[in-house]
C-alpha cells in the first residue's frame, strides 16, 4: 500500500521521495521512531549533492503517526543551525497531543462507532500509547488513557501547554452536532502515572503540539477529516502555527475518515482523491 502511494507522489511531482522504515513499538519505544526519521532527514540534507538534490528544496510529509513524526522532525531540523530549513511540512491527519483523548472529534467518533468500532478499538488505541511509551501493555496506562485521566487537574490549571489543548479552539460548527459534551473543569488525574510519563507526553518529539514556540517553522499543509478521532489534533496544530504566524493551508474533508488519503488500496475514494490533489497542489506551490 505505501509503496504504491509513494510511487504515485514521485511520479505526479517528478521528484525523489525517500520513505523511512522507522523502528516500531513495542520493540522500540519512544523516541526511536523520531530518532530514525530525524537521522534520515539530516543525512539527506547533508548528502543532498550526491543525489542531485537541491537541499534548499527538501520538504517532509507523513500521515497519521507519520504526520506526527514529520511535524516533529520539521521542528528539530529548524532548530539545527547547521542545516537549511525544510521547504514545507505536509501533515495528513497528524496526532499532535496525548493530554486529552476526549476531544470533540473523539466524542463524536465514539458515539458513531462505539468503543469497539472504528478502525481500531478504544482499548487498542490506549494500548498503542502504552507500547509506544513503555514498550509493553501496561493495564494502568491503558485504563488511565481510556478514562482520559492521564493528565492531572493541576496541569490543566497551571501547565503552560494546557492552553494548546482547548476545546474552544475547535470551530463551533464542529461541536454543534449533538455529540459533544464539555469536559468538567475539575477533572482529576492519575498523579502517580503523570510523574512517571508526564515528561514524555510533553515531549515535542512525541507530541509536536507541546513545542512552546512555532515561529518561523516551514509552511504547512494540514488535512483533517470529519469522521476521524484525530481531527482536533490537526486543528490544534493549525491554530498554534497560525498564532505564531506560520503560513498554513488547512483542508478539512467532510465525509472523510482516517486512512482515506488516496490511493487507499485496494479502494479509491473521491474524498481521498481530492485530498491527494490538494496535497500535490500545495507541494507544487512551495517549490
Active site residue ranges: 64, 228, 258
Candidates 251, 246, 97, 236; CA nearest to 168 is: 236
Residues 6+ apart with CB under 8 A from 281: none
Candidates 38, 32, 22; CA nearest to 74 is: 38
Grid cell at residue 206: 512525541
- Cα angle 115, 118, 123 (rounded to 5 degrees) comes to 40
Grid cell at residue 258: 482516517
Residues 6+ apart with CB under 8 A from 141: 126, 129, 130, 133, 134, 150, 193, 197
- Could you list the beta-strand ranges (E) of the chain: 60-63, 89-92, 220-227, 248-257
Angle between helices 139-146 and 191-201 (to 10 degrees): 90
Amino acid at each position: 500500500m505505501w509503496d504504491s502511494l509513494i510511487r504515485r507522489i514521485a511520479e505526479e511531482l517528478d521528484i525523489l521521495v525517500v520513505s523511512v522504515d522507522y523502528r516500531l513499538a513495542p520493540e522500540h519505544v519512544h523516541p526511536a521512531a523520531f530518532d530514525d526519521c530525524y537521522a534520515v532527514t539530516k543525512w539527506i540534507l547533508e548528502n543532498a549533492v550526491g543525489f542531485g538534490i537541491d537541499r534548499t528544496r527538501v520538504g517532509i510529509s507523513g500521515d497519521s503517526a507519520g504526520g506526527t513524526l514529520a511535524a516533529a522532525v520539521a521542528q528539530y531540523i529548524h532548530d539545527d543551525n547547521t542545516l537549511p530549513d525544510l521547504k514545507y511540512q505536509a501533515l495528513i491527519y497528524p496526532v499532535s497531543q496525548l493530554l486529552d483523548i476526549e476531544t470533540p472529534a473523539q466524542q463524536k467518533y465514539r458515539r458513531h462507532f462505539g468503543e469497539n468500532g472504528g478502525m481500531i478499538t478504544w482499548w487498542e488505541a490506549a494500548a498503542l500509547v502504552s507500547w509506544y511509551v513503555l514498550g509493553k501493555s501496561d493495564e494502568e496506562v491503558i485504563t488511565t488513557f481510556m478514562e482520559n485521566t492521564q493528565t492531572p487537574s493541576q496541569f490543566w490549571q497551571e501547565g503552560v501547554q494546557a492552553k494548546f489543548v482547548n476545546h474552544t479552539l475547535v470551530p463551533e460548527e464542529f461541536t454543534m452536532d449533538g455529540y459533544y459534551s464539555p469536559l468538567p473543569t475539575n477533572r482529576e488525574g492519575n498523579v502517580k502515572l503523570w510523574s512517571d510519563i508526564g515528561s514524555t507526553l510533553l515531549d515535542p518529539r512525541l507530541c509536536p503540539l507541546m513545542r512552546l514556540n512555532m515561529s518561523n517553522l516551514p509552511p504547512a499543509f494540514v488535512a483533517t477529516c470529519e469522521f476521524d478521532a484525530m481531527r482536533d489534533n490537526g486543528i490544534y496544530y493549525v491554530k498554534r502555527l497560525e498564532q505564531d504566524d506560520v503560513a498554513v493551508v488547512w483542508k478539512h474533508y467532510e465525509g472523510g475518515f482516517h486512512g482515506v488519503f488516496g490511493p487507499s488500496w485496494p479502494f479509491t475514494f473521491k474524498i481521498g482523491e481530492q485530498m491527494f490533489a490538494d496535497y500535490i497542489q500545495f507541494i507544487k506551490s512551495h517549490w
